[in-house]
Amino acid sequence: MQFHYALVDDLFSREEFERRVEEKMESCGDLVDEVTAAMMVVQDCGRHHVKIKDLSGRSSLFSFFGKVVAKNPPREFERPGGEKGLVTSLILGDETGQVRAILWDEKAMAAQEIEVGEVLEVIGRHPNRTPTEITVMAMRQAMVEIVGPTQVEPSLAPPKRRDLTVKVMAIGEPRMVPRRDGTETEVQALIVGNNEGLFRMSCWVPDLIEGISEGASLHIQGALEKVRKYGREFSIDERSTIGEAPVDIPVEIHSIQEVEEGGSFSVCGSVLSCKPARTFSTKEGRVSCVRNLFLTDGTHQIGVVLWGEDHARAEIMPGDRVSLYLCSARKGRSGNLELHAGRGSMVKVHQLDEAVEEEITGTVIATSDGTFLDTGEDQFLVRGNLPHGHEVRARVTRRGKRISIHSFEETLPDMAELNARIDAFLEMTGSGNTFTPHGRQDISK
């Protein structure tokens, strides 16, 4: 019964589900067993079967019918403990869309008997909150007719290797990501472009791009091309090779005036203003964050919405020169056109100032925009750990309004001067700051 409860676990508690199952059995005069009654309760809630386009609800499991559009042969792999495993996938579709169904071990072996064109009844869940994939928990052949797809959608088709010559527009920081087998690997994102447009590229062997700088022209052999819902992207791995291209590749960057609703755009400009990042809960119940700012290219300006931890928590200050790559343009709540940076986008803050090593004395003030060192005359965004509310003398590397901390020591503050500087800082940050009277008391101790 737990299997069936997972289909409706976002609607009511386990106890309520069991009560409804018992009521269903009684109302049927005990002519149905517990499993059948559970399925009837699920069906009463409208969760028995959904269309493929609706495989995005908040329940743990989904039940649906899908026609087999394509199948892949099983692939053997080794788990971290050395145990062998088997995995394969099916592309299932109906009149509303397609989904990749992942089958493991015994189910992967059984999938070899499935034929293209058959209709399956599937119960499964999303792996790692990936809406275009379903991990199959149970399946069976269904006597249901689905008039629908015969070809695999481009976004679900296997990636193809191709050679391309591109210009590197931006390089992200390396980050660790989980593999399907539970281990982690390093990946580094790039934005590249040529006469076909701008694309996101993931490098799964960061050594391949070591020493490569933004603006370089590259010839890449064996890049994997994938079609996503937000556009094409590429991956390079151990089977790819990279060499310098002796040509200058023209790449188009849009002006803010060119931004139109419904398209994907890459723009460059200066930050007019930015609000603190704020957290929210997604439809799936996950906690994420979002941040709003205004960007100008000197002639026009536009609102920008940064989605997710990587974008919303980026160190961005008014006056910064930033490039926004592969952002979607759509109307905001106010009806004005906005650029939205989300999955597949990249936000690049340009460091235009030279690095200077110096000593700075000030008060550490932590806000939702980051930690600042306030000198009384200026405020610097801190990279590194400093104790909130303390007066410190720090040895730093400064680039404009940003400082990286090498070492620091605490000093005793002048309380009258400190309170005056706090008032000036609060006035500077405006109504969006989260610095409270309680924080002032902390500093004054």
Say what the pLDDT of residue 443 is. Answer: 47
Residues 307 and 432 both lie in one domain: no
CATH number at residue 381: 2.40.50
Instruction: State pTM to two decimals.
Output: 0.68
Look at residue 249 and tell me if it is in a domain. Answer: no
Give the range among 105-119, 171-185, 262-276 with minimum mean pLDDT. Answer: 171-185
Does residue 146 have a pLDDT over 90?
A: no
Last residue of a domain, one of 334, 350, 366: 350
Q: What's the first-to-final CA gap in the chain, in angstroms? A: 58
Residue whose C-alpha is closest to residue 409's, from 350, 352, 361, 358: 361
Residues 111 and 168 both lie in one domain: no
Give Cβ neighbours of residue 295 (< 8 Å, ≥ 6 apart). Answer: 256, 267, 269, 270, 271, 272, 301, 302, 303, 304, 322, 324, 339
Residues 47 and 108 both lie in one domain: yes
**pLDDT tens digit sequence for 66-98:** 999 998 888 888 887 778 889 999 999 998 888
Residues 7 and 143 both lie in one domain: yes
Last residue of a domain, one of 152, 175, 192: 152
C-alpha pair distances (Å), 436 with each of 316, 385, 413, 423, 432 = 22, 21, 20, 11, 12
Q: Which residue has the higher pLDDT, 121 or 292?
A: 292
User: Which value, to the nearest 10 degrees, does the dihedral of the CA atoms of residues 398, 404, 407, 411 take?
Assistant: 70
Does residue 440 have a pLDDT over 50?
A: no
Give Cβ neighbours of residue 310 (< 8 Å, ≥ 6 apart). Answer: none
Say what the pLDDT of residue 129 is. Answer: 60
Residue whose C-alpha is closest to residue 307's, from 345, 264, 262: 345
Give the range among 179-193, 296-310, 312-326 with minimum mean pLDDT. Answer: 179-193
Does residue 410 have a pLDDT over 60?
A: yes
Does residue 297 have a pLDDT over 70?
A: yes
Residues 314 and 199 both lie in one domain: no
Give Cβ neighbours of residue 378 (< 8 Å, ≥ 6 apart). Answer: 401
**pLDDT tens digit sequence for 237-265:** 999 999 999 888 999 899 999 999 998 99
**pLDDT tens digit sequence for 188-212:** 999 999 998 999 999 999 899 999 9
Computed over every residue of the chain, the mean pLDDT equals 85
Residues 59 and 185 both lie in one domain: no
Q: Which residue has the higher pLDDT, 221 or 314?
A: 221
How many domains does the chain fold into? Answer: 4
Residue ranges in 55-200 assigned as alpha helix (H) = 106-110
Question: In which domain, by residue range, is 364 found?
Answer: 356-444
| pLDDT tier at 39, thresholds 50, 70, 90 | confident
Residues 54 and 137 both lie in one domain: yes
Residues 7 and 147 both lie in one domain: yes
Distance CA 408, CA 385 (A): 10
Give yes or no for a contact between 306 and 313, defined as CB atoms under 8 angstroms apart.
Answer: no
Residues 174 and 135 both lie in one domain: no
Say what the pLDDT of residue 128 is. Answer: 65
- Quick one: which H or E segment has residue 265? strand 264-274
Pull the structure tokens for residue 270: 């200066």
Say what the pLDDT of residue 78 is. Answer: 81
